[in-house]
Amino acid sequence: MALLDSEVWGRKFFSDGWRAASAEQPVVEPATGEQLATAGLATAGDVARASARAAEAQRAWAAASPQQRAAVLRRAGELLAEHASEIQDWLVREAGSVRAKAAFEVQLAVGECFECAGLPTHPQGEVLTSEDARWSLSRRRPAGVVSVIAPFNFPLVLGLRSVAPALALGNAVLLKPDPRTTVSGGVVIARVLEEAGLPAGVLHLLPGDGSVGRAVVEAPEVRVVSFTGSTPVGRAIGEQAGRLLKRAHLELGGNNALVVLPGADVRKAASAGAFGSYLHQGQICMTTGRHIVHESLLEEYTAALAAKAAALPVGDPAREDVALGPIIDRKQLERVHGIVTDSVAAGATLAAGGEIVGAGYRATVLTGLTTDMPAWREEIFGPVAPVIGFSTLEEAARIVNDCEYGLSVGILGDVGTAMKLADRIDSGKVHINEQTVSDEPNAPFGGVKASGTGSRFGGAAANVEAFTETQWVTVRPDIADYPF
């Protein structure tokens, strides 16, 4: 039987095994509108039961040996690799990924599991000095129950990026995937970990609407909330968690800048810019949303980028060899087109694209912009590349920083000049001679300003900080003498 056979998970959610759901939702292919399967939905009541069970199961899971926890994560990575083709098919059909992006996402997910398999044996504390005759140390303990709310764009890896380290460090997890990618962002993770030998009750898959999202934040057993998604929703979750005195790790939106310095290789720069703006139809928090080009290269770069855009085919990635697949749903497709047409109406010029093609959108280049136009100010989440010029390094830094977001910046050209610019930029990530989209399981990932709370995913230090609590412990050889 295939790992993702719908006979196992169809019309069900995962909580101490696969349970029949009281509500259902079609799993829809965005490219065609075809129904692929039927997913089960959880309710707020299901969340309450799951969180209580998770708290119970977490105690035994935290007490398991580091080797036992590491073995589950290693086996999960192996299963992802063994079933890569099947998982990629779901990413293509359910999430609208082109085949290369789906393969890359599975590869990242495998790496995430293998990287997190090292967390259980990673040092998790330090010995402190003390003025008294005692041993003093701090140690990291599992937070308890962690809620993970994941997005639709890289549904597998962006869910697993929180689920895997939280489990590795001894926590139980409530996972709520985006309803549009319940299978590739939820069922895949549950099935892989189930087959890898994760004990019952430690992971709960709870698809659902906003009421379920609120419930996985408010459940009293939950101590940490890990959310990846839009800034407006992140603000609401942050407020909700703050009132409840819970930690919220918020990885939010971005309107990321690619700076092309004078003297840069225009051909290579345009290729980097196209990749940054058009990978997965621009539906990535790290997408290159602003191209800031030195005035000496502006015309040449814009022409080269427009030529790249015009050559990228749009269509159904499950049935055609295309570079751009569908936008996730019609509402988002119309939003992307609305931002483009509003900007053109305000005076911008279309150098390429600007058209809806079936369920997709042509790779688009906009020029003649001012910084107050919607295509420049907003996170578009579509395949749109706005281009603007600059004359001095000071001006480039000002334009980069004149943005509510601060997630990722790419700088192309002379390394020394790029380093000087990087020192003036407010951003969680800076990539010199690379575009803005980059992620590795062992690297700290996160943004500043409206791109997040400054928390990081990836790498042992960031993951231990995110999913554990610090406990101070002292030990004396004998009971101390006190003056009472």
| Strand segments (E) across 143-195 | 145-149, 172-176
pLDDT at 409 over 90: yes
Average per-residue pLDDT for the chain: 97
If pLDDT is split at 50, 70 and 90, which confidence band does 283 have? very high
Predicted confidence at residue 1, as pLDDT, reads 65
The pLDDT value given to residue 176: 98
Mode of pairing for the β-strands spanning 222-228 and 145-149 = parallel
Whether the CA torsion 298, 301, 304, 305 is positive or negative: it is negative
CA-closest candidate to residue 437, choices 456, 411, 410: 410
Angle subtended at Cα 446 by Cα 377 and Cα 220, rounded to the nearest 5 degrees: 110
Percent with pLDDT over 70 in the chain: 100
The residues carrying an active-site annotation are 251, 285
What average pLDDT score do residues 21-30 get?
Answer: 97
Closest by Cα among 95, 320, 70 to 188 = 95
- The mean pLDDT value for 446-473 works out to 93
CA-CA distance, 62 to 169, in Å (whole number)?
8
Query: What is the value of pTM for the model shown?
Result: 0.97
Residue 228 reports pLDDT greater than 70: yes
- Averaged pLDDT, 235-249: 97
Which of 249, 41, 44 is CA-nearest to residue 143?
249
DSSP state of 181: G
Amino acid at 460: A
pLDDT band at 360 (very low <50, low <70, confident <90, very high): very high
Burial degree of 346 (CB within 10 A; 0-12, 13-18, 19+): middle
Question: Where is average pLDDT lowest: 194-208, 299-313, 444-458?
Answer: 444-458
| Res 200 pLDDT > 80 | yes
Residues 274 and 423 sit within 8 Å (Cβ to Cβ): no
pLDDT surpasses 90 at 456: no
**Looking at the DSSP assignment, which residues form a beta bridge with residue 146?**
173, 224
Determine which of 161-175, 294-308, 351-365, 455-469 has the lowest per-residue pLDDT on average. Answer: 455-469
Report how far residue 191's alpha carbon sits from residue 483's, in angstroms, rounded to the nearest whole number.
Answer: 59
d(CA 109, CA 473): 36
CA distance 110 to 144: 25
- Please write the tens of the pLDDT for every residue from 110-133: 999 999 999 999 999 999 999 889
Helix, strand, coil percentages for the chain (3-state, nearest 5)? 40, 25, 35
pLDDT of 237 strictly over 70: yes
The rounded distance, in Å, linking the Cα atoms of 62 and 58 is 6
Domains, the chain: 6-252+452-472 (3.40.605.10), 256-432 (3.40.309.10)
